[in-house]
Amino acid sequence: MSDQQGYGLLTGKKGLIFGALDERSIAWRIALACQREGAEFSLSNAPVALRFGELDELAEETGAEVFPCDVTDEDEIEELMQNVKEEHGKIDFMLHAIGMSPNVRKKKGYKELNYQWMQQTLDISSISLHKVIRYADEADILNDGASILALSYIGAQRIFSKYGDMNDAKALLESIARNYGSRLADRGIRVNTVSQAPTKTSAGSGIKGFDGMYTFADKLAPLGNPSADECADYCVTLFSDLTRKVTMQNLYHDGGFVTAGINEDMINDLAEMYADEEDEG
């Protein structure tokens, strides 16, 4: 959004944001958008990321407290929720923007997965959503009507060869969002996933072939790939009171990629690229 004034959509709301690593991180952009819209929040990331990252800069800019937490560790999550309780009392929104696959990082093909690494992929990228919701609920820090969001990718539904076991991780993440959403709905609490298009971040760029995936999505999506800032604007609406009956959904934020088949430019480019083969045929 070009207007830095915002709409005051989150005035008076408090939140907890996981996953801001550096200024390219989608969570970083979401934190800035939440601040613009009037929210107060705490930031959390893994201790190792806090050592190497630049989170203090964001904390200073937004007046947020930073709490370290490795989301695979239940004790750390429990402690985090107590810290958040002391800081804010109750919260109105929570963002899970966490993903990591050792298999993808180390370029292991899907047929040669290292299963220990796969367990880590699922623990960090998916089961952690269950854990943070559970411990937030048990610490009783979620306000009625709160909104919980996790970031997903279309690899949950379609096969993207270079995305490896993250395809499976995102499918599980979306399932956990649906299942928890059904169990918190009696308090008006919403749980959704936003399926974002390829975005140039630290996690994104760690995927072999990312540039190809990015360009393909950008060319196919009628509106083109959305930026991290545009994703942030969408997430703000989902944290706001304007979307109180939206829950248990996987919501595509991809410029129309999910429903696009092919377009004229791509047909022409492909025809040119494979002209020789057609001639031979």
**Catalytic residue of the set 135, 163, 180, 214:** 163
31, 32, 43, 46: which one binds ligand NAI (CB under 6 A): 46
**Catalytic residue of the set 7, 110, 135, 153:** 153
| 3-class secondary structure, 159 | coil
Six-digit token string for 249: 């959904």
- CB under 6 A: which stretch of 31-39, 65-73, 182-190, 266-274 binds ligand NAI? 65-73
Report the site for ligand NAI in 209-228 (rule: CB under 6 A): none
Tell which residue, 96, 108, 95, 218, has the closest CA to residue 161: 108
34, 71, 217, 235: which one binds ligand NAI (CB under 6 A): 71
Catalytic annotation on 214? no
Distance of CA 74 to the CA centre of its chain: 21
Q: How far is the CB of 100 from ligand NAI (least distance, A)?
A: 4
39, 97, 129, 133: which one binds ligand NAI (CB under 6 A): 97
Rounded to whole angstroms, the Cα distance separating 267 from 173 reads: 34
What is the DSSP track for 41-104? EEEEE-HHHHHHS-HHHHHHHHT-EEEE--TT-HHHHHHHHHHHHHHHSSEEEEEE-----HHH
42, 45, 62, 225: which one binds ligand NAI (CB under 6 A): 45
Q: Which residues are CB-contacts of 71 (< 8 A; sequence separation ≥ 6)?
A: 18, 46, 77, 98, 124, 128, 131, 132
Distance of CA 210 to the CA centre of its chain: 17
1, 23, 72, 79: which one binds ligand NAI (CB under 6 A): 72
Report the site for ligand NAI in 3-32 (rule: CB under 6 A): 19, 21, 25-27
Q: Between 9 and 232, name the residue whose CB sits nearer to ligand NAI.
A: 232
CA dist list (Å): 52 to 28, 45, 73: 15, 11, 20
Please report, in angstroms and rounded to a whole number, the separation of the first and last CA atoms in the chain.
50
Report the site for ligand NAI in 102-131 (rule: CB under 6 A): 124
Q: Between 143 and 148, name the residue whose CB sits nearer to ligand NAI.
A: 148
Report the site for ligand NAI in 134-153 (rule: CB under 6 A): 151-153
CA dist list (Å): 146 to 14, 31, 137, 186: 10, 17, 11, 12
196 near ligand NAI, rule: CB under 6 A? yes
171 near ligand NAI, rule: CB under 6 A? no
Catalytic annotation on 153? yes
Residues annotated catalytic, as ranges: 153, 163
Known binding positions: 19, 25-26, 70-71, 98, 170
Can you give the binding site for ligand NAI, defined by CB under 6 A?
19, 21, 25-27, 45-46, 49, 70-72, 97-100, 124, 151-153, 196, 198-199, 201-204
